Amino acid sequence: MTRRRLPIGVQNFREIREGNCYYVDKTGFIGQLLKQGKHYFLSRPRRFGKSLFLDTCKELFEANEPLFDGLAIHGAWDWSVRHPVLRLSFGSGHFSAPDDLRTEVVDRLKTMEDHAGIQARHTSAPARLRHLIETLHERTGCRVAVLVDEYDKPILDALDVPEVARANRDYLRGLYAVVKDCDAHIRFSFITGVSKFSKVSLFSGLNNLVDITMDARYSAICGYTDADLDAVFSPEVSAFDRDKVRDWYNGYCWRGDAKVYNPFDILLLFDNGEFGAWWFETGTPAFLVETLVERQVSAVAVEDMAGTDNLLSRFDVDDMGTEALLFQTGYLTIRDEEVIGGKNLYRLGYPNREVRQSFNEHLLRYLVNDASRQTANSVQLYRLLEANDFDGLGAVFQAFFASIPYEWYTNNDIARYEGYYASVFYAYFAALGLDIAVEDSTSHGRLDMAVRFRGHVYLFEFKVVEMASEGAAMAQLQERRYADKYRDSGEPIHLIGVEFSRDSRNIVAFDVERV
């Protein structure tokens, strides 16, 4: 197979097909959607190919047949019919001020009217959109395809100004309701964005919208599968250790067996030949980190969250569930699922090394409040762990906690709850990219944290005490025989009991025993 251009940042289907770029064929999903219905909603994290999918739909409905030669839908489409397409995208605007959204929508409707040669007869945005759809159907004799990209950005941009976010939400609710009102004039509608606002808050007027976000049949509608890498990118992927590629970037799942890679990560890996946090670095999760701190969610707890369909969909301006927030933005994904009491229960976790390592590094930077010290401590911790210098490890953490100004504790509620201390400890190791398991179940109980590194196993138990408790953490490690689960590996096992004092805000016991 000959090498092609890497479509990095390209969201235009025509440019990809005419520019000799690699393309993972998603047109079979469009055919499947059209057989089952016509009004759809999809939520996926940023940079997962949503805009490219919509642009592919646009070219298909406009019957640009040469672009689809050799693709799955080519032989199953009537190329003699050309449908009018209305595409509305909020990707390029910013909507944090009160009148931003109204102004932007009016401008875009005017552009669509001018392009279609249609004179506006109404002043309200919903009425103008309705007139556009009805007139296009009447003029062409073909029903309209309505494509909405980044539908939620006007709300997300204004989350720091809740009154504007609510106003934008209510304005969009009236606009999107037009899709239902014009059902007879529409052949296909597809609305996509990062978040999944509840139907009650945003789509109450569009109750015929089918949400395929968690439909296992469409788990791979965006993103690349392992099979895609083999079939499409074989000239590129052959140069890399495949297991390392999976470890770094694979693992996103929206039910079913399909696990996908973020396309942006894979294309950047192939382009520069280096593993890095390419997707993570294109967005700053400051809002997420601050929310976790405010809600006193420990870094350890993030590693092993669970949620039902209702919980993962609980997303609105005034009600953003922690699990929903992390899941919809792509920092957590589905690891496993089971049915309990007739409801689906999803076990959530980081999708891959990139997200776990980078997210914890970002969280740690917020907790430490000193990027230079955090970096220096991380490097020192890695070197000490390489040498199994446990005295050095304990001393580094003690020095770190001692260096935090008293004012930081008094100004941050997170320092007042027990999980804060274990969170800092855990985040340091996770930010180093180590193999970590939290709340690891054994036949004797749940171990706080297990770390595997260079042929050694480190089992941690954390306790917060009023004063030094004469090895209570170590005693629990021994009494519950947590090491038994790991003995078959034949690797050296180290029990590490760590105790923190509320009074001194520091480590008062760091006990180590090799078994």
pLDDT surpassing 70 at residue 417: no
Tokens matching residue 378: 């991380």
Task: For CA atoms 317, 322, 324, 327, give the dihedral sign.
Answer: positive
Task: For CA atoms 279, 333, 51, 100, give the dihedral sign.
Answer: negative
Tokens matching residue 160: 């720091």
The pLDDT-based confidence of 246 (bands split at 50, 70, 90) is very high
Cβ-contact 397, 500 below 8 angstroms = no
Lowest-confidence segment of 83-92, 410-419, 437-446, 451-460 by average pLDDT: 410-419
| pLDDT score, position 469 | 64
For residues 173-178, give the mean pLDDT: 92
Tokens matching residue 301: 């707890």
d(CA 41, CA 427): 35
Kindly state the percentage of the chain with pLDDT values over 90.
Answer: 67
Looking at mean pLDDT, say which of 205-209, 222-226, 299-303, 404-408 comes out highest.
222-226
d(CA 459, CA 494): 6
- Residues contacting residue 169 through CB under 8 Å, at least 6 positions apart: 155, 197, 201, 202, 316, 317
Proportion of the chain in helix, strand, coil states, percent, rounded to 5:
45, 20, 35
CA distances for 116 relative to 139, 317, 351, angstroms: 10, 35, 44
- Higher-confidence residue: 391 or 294? 391
Identify the three-state secondary structure at position 468.
coil
| pLDDT score, position 311 | 81
For residues 189-195, give the mean pLDDT: 94
The pLDDT-based confidence of 243 (bands split at 50, 70, 90) is very high
DSSP-assigned letter for residue 454: T
- Higher-confidence residue: 202 or 22? 22
pLDDT surpassing 90 at residue 393: yes
The alpha-helical segments, DSSP class H, found in 387-508 are 390-403, 406-411, 419-431, 472-479
Report the alpha-carbon angle 370-371-376, nearest 5: 100
Report the alpha-carbon angle 163-168-170, nearest 5: 95
| pLDDT score, position 314 | 74
Instruction: State how far Cα 196 lies from the chain centre.
Output: 12
d(CA 20, CA 5): 6
| pLDDT score, position 413 | 55
pLDDT surpassing 90 at residue 341: no
CA distances for 71 relative to 137, 182, 417, angstroms: 28, 31, 56
The pLDDT-based confidence of 406 (bands split at 50, 70, 90) is low
pLDDT surpassing 60 at residue 411: no
- Residues contacting residue 95 through CB under 8 Å, at least 6 positions apart: 101, 104, 153, 154, 155, 157, 158, 164, 168
DSSP secondary structure string, 30-76?
HHHHHHH-SEEEEE--TTSSHHHHHHHHHHHHTT-GGGGTTSTTGGG
| pLDDT score, position 407 | 53
pLDDT in tens, 259-273: 999 999 999 999 999
d(CA 196, CA 176): 14
Q: Which amino acid is at 179?
A: V
| pLDDT score, position 274 | 96
Kindly state the percentage of the chain with pLDDT values over 70.
Answer: 94
The pLDDT-based confidence of 285 (bands split at 50, 70, 90) is confident
Q: At what angle do helices 263-272 and 242-249 cross, to 10 degrees?
A: 140
**What are the structural domains of the chain?**
25-218 (3.40.50), 368-514 (3.40.1350)
Q: At what angle do helices 371-386 and 353-368 cross, to 10 degrees?
A: 120
d(CA 171, CA 181): 16
The pLDDT-based confidence of 409 (bands split at 50, 70, 90) is low
Among residues 84, 43, 90, which one has the least CA distance to residue 182? 84
Tokens matching residue 342: 């007739």
Lowest-confidence segment of 96-110, 217-231, 318-332 by average pLDDT: 318-332
The pLDDT-based confidence of 418 (bands split at 50, 70, 90) is low
- pTM value is 0.90
Q: At what angle do helices 419-431 and 353-368 cross, to 10 degrees?
A: 130
